[in-house]
Amino acid sequence: MIKVGDHLPSTTLWEVVPAEDGGLSGPQSIDVGAAVAEKTIVIIGVPGAFTPTCSKQHVPGYLSLASHFRNLGVDEIWCVSVNDAYVMQAWGAQMGVGDQIRMLADGNAAFVEAMGLSRDLSEKGMGVRSQRYSMLAVNGVVKILNVEPQGKFVVSGAQQLHIQAQGVLDSTQKMSEN
């Protein structure tokens, strides 16, 4: 499993965004390595779009603290799930995330499998999914990683990651000033 100090895997995620004509773009590929270079990114991994805990607690927590994360120096917040890009876009629209959270699809589970954060939920009819987690990555290096015990929501919430990120980003800022 990926750990603090590791680089994020060089894989592809997918995103659907509004098109100029008012419709939606086709799925756009996101090269993870390029997208995280020179950026501070919060990533939340969820088992599935539209699922109860993800929709009622996990994503809303990050949406409510999005400006607080930005004030710490976080460039983007990503929500990643093993769903297709259109499902992630529709879920983001329903959740009202706007430009506060990028809803990114890991349709083939390549990202979560490369990180060792996949779980097989085939017995529940859901196939391979992501474990629930939160992380902070700076320039593609994992600085904080909170992986939930199966079936729980106790360590990956927005409040906890925000508190952790304050300490990490404050010390990173002080190191760059010296």
Is 54 a catalytic site residue?
yes
Say which of 54, 85, 135, 144 is annotated catalytic: 54
Give, in order, the Cα–Cα distances in Å from 15 to each of 29, 55, 57, 151. 7, 19, 22, 27
Q: Which residues are catalytic?
A: 54
